[in-house]
Amino acid sequence: MKGRYCCIRLFRIFIILLTICILLLWLIPLVVFNFNNEKIEIIVYNENFLDNHLYPPPWYILNWTINDYFIRKDIFKKIEDQYAINKKQKIVVEHDFFNQKKRKKTNYIILEYTTVFNEPKFCGKSQDFIFGKQCPYRNCRYTCDRNSSTFADVLLMHRSDIHFDQLPIERNPEQIWLYWHDEPGGVQNQAISYQFNWTISYRFNAEVNIGAYGLTILRNKPLSFKEVNSYINEQFSNRQPYAVWFVSNCKPKARLYYYDQLHLYYPSIKVYGDCVLQNKTNHCHRHSHCETFELSKNKFYLAFESQSCRDYITEKFWRSLAYGTIPIVFGPHDKQSVEKIAPPNSFIYTGDFISVSKLAEYLNEIGRNRTLFGEYHQWRRFYQVLHRPEDIEHYRFCELCYRLNTNENRIYYQDINKFFLEQC
């Protein structure tokens, strides 16, 4: 009897220890240690991380794939598609016969039916270059051979290169017409009558949008605490507390007005371009060595978009992150559009401040406070951003191949103009 009692006690102790181990294994990945000199802070990632971001959380770092992006995107897209359906922008026929038939296919052909900005886009490029070597779907073939226009699965048409009088008169009902447009507005009225099936765009509920202008990805291996803090110390010491802005489109007045107000309270702003009177003689242009120098020597960048449209987050934002500045975002009409795709705690949103003067006070504080400055760079331990076309475009076309392999619905854009214009 005594031996039996001891066995029961040992079994209970084993169960308790096993439970503790399981809890520790669950909690440890959620915790990131941030060493600021001798101070140790523990940051627990928000429990809603998976609900708010496209990219995987840090604890996926050893086993994430591009499929994680596609699956996450589909969750967001399904919600936003319902809105587009209710607004009569899209028609979605669930479990459509044609798509069930197409899913039995083993290969898909994508035809570059128009040029892209008057130039062939991927003609002559390898399939690995177009879809990426890491794309899990290997059964899509990209072609520029117009002889395949009758049997290709997708006809890819770029907005500014479409000649509607040259489109096929007879349309293959099993074919997907894909409308490529990465700017808000500007859709041709003729496009409505053609009922395009899919879009490739910056819009998050476009059928293809991942990597429109940039992408947050997990590193293959996280940086060490020492590496991150060394980076933060170096950047804080070597950068000036200036905000930089390269602006060439002078038509959008809201952002120019906001700049004028901010400059009154925070005069440490360098503006390049013809839109600000005192800088008309300054010839430091975007994509120049001068721009690279300014982005590497100052703490902030005014990532002010030309249009305040939902999901419209362009290379201005991504380039500033890549060069180590903290972007100040004035653009998308909701902060969630940015949070969904930007690295965690990587930007300052103007809408969070009750006045321009409060934003100016906060910028001054970041410029003086190494700890506060460092909070906007802790994401670099686990994440990196991509912004060059050669680094992000294959993610988009891998998503297209994913969509061809997994989509079960037939989609038509009932009013493609409304789809692009309504959220601006």
pLDDT category of residue 322 using cuts at 50, 70 and 90 = very high
413 and 271 part of one domain: no
Of 6-15, 289-298, 379-388, the least confident = 6-15
Whether 53 is covered by a domain: the verdict is no
260 and 408 part of one domain: no
* pLDDT, mean over the chain: 86
376 and 272 part of one domain: yes
Is residue 177's pLDDT more than 80? yes
Question: What value, to the nearest 5°, has the Cα angle with vertex 134 and ends 130 and 140?
Answer: 45
For the record, the structure tokens of 304 come out as: 């002010």
Average pLDDT estimate for 150-166? 93
Whether 146 is covered by a domain: the verdict is yes
139 and 164 part of one domain: yes
325 and 410 part of one domain: no
371 and 412 part of one domain: no
pLDDT > 70: what percent of the chain? 83
Is residue 187's pLDDT more than 90? no
Say which residue, 402 or 251, is predicted with more confidence: 402
Per-residue pLDDT, 198: 97
The enclosing domain of 292 has a CATH number of 3.40.50.11660
Question: What value, to the nearest 5°, has the Cα angle with vertex 69 and ends 160 and 191?
Answer: 20
Average pLDDT estimate for 7-25? 56
263 and 180 part of one domain: no
Per-residue pLDDT, 16: 62
173 and 272 part of one domain: no
Say which residue, 82 or 228, is predicted with more confidence: 228
Average pLDDT estimate for 394-421? 92
Whether 44 is covered by a domain: the verdict is no
Whether 192 is covered by a domain: the verdict is yes
Average pLDDT estimate for 126-152? 95
Whether 169 is covered by a domain: the verdict is yes
79 and 174 part of one domain: yes
255 and 372 part of one domain: yes
185 and 274 part of one domain: no
Whether 122 is covered by a domain: the verdict is yes
Whether 47 is covered by a domain: the verdict is no
268 and 201 part of one domain: no
Single out the residue of 305, 334, 336 nearest to residue 318, CA to CA. Answer: 305
Single out the residue of 80, 101, 192 nearest to residue 410, CA to CA. Answer: 101
Is residue 23's pLDDT more than 60? no
Whether 4 is covered by a domain: the verdict is no
CA 120, CA 127: separation in Å to the nearest integer? 15
Give the domain range for residue 247: 223-381
Per-residue pLDDT, 95: 66
The total number of structural domains in the chain stands at 2
